[in-house]
Amino acid sequence: MTALKRALFTPVAEQYEAFAAANGDDRSVDALYDLADTFDDALARAVPNTRLLGPLVAARAALLRLRRLSALSTDRLTVAAQSRAATCRAIAVGDAAEAGRLNHERVQASLAHSPSILLAGKTAPLVPPALDLDTDR
């Protein structure tokens, strides 16, 4: 990946860092999903590979319910944002090994966290508020 393409991830890292440090409405699950979309867009521009991006889109759709349940933990949102910011920083400086390590840790943490969220019986709206068609906005 060229330095120009890696540079796409520096502002994304800054946005994740700002999210992790923010309070209140700036910390909504929808704001975090918007950041995930920004990350995915940067990835698509940096590595235009449909064999990589197709499964990424499918996986994100399948994880929507679990993400909404996980979002009930504000500490979890902070950790997720900090982890993705560090990944963006690693990509921006061209450290593929560190980016891979961070992603591995993030996936492992998510896998470890998933059963406890699902078994806790927590409920969350399964449709992001921005897509809720039952409200008059």
Between CA 135 and CA 137 the distance in angstroms is 6
Between CA 104 and CA 133 the distance in angstroms is 36
Between CA 28 and CA 19 the distance in angstroms is 9
What pTM was estimated for this model as a whole?
0.60
Q: What is the mean pLDDT of residues 71-86?
A: 82
Domain boundaries, the chain: 3-128
CB 87 within 8 A of CB 106: yes
pLDDT tens digit string along 7-55?
A: 999 999 999 999 999 877 667 777 888 888 898 888 888 887 777 777 7
Alpha helices in the chain (DSSP H): 3-6, 9-21, 29-46, 50-62, 64-70, 74-92, 96-119
Between CA 14 and CA 68 the distance in angstroms is 23
Q: Best-predicted range by mean pLDDT among 4-8, 107-111, 120-124?
A: 4-8
Q: How far is CA 136 from CA 25, 30, 124, 132, in A?
A: 20, 18, 20, 9
Question: CB neighbours of 88 closer than 8 A, spacing ≥ 6?
Answer: 9, 10, 12, 13, 16, 39, 42
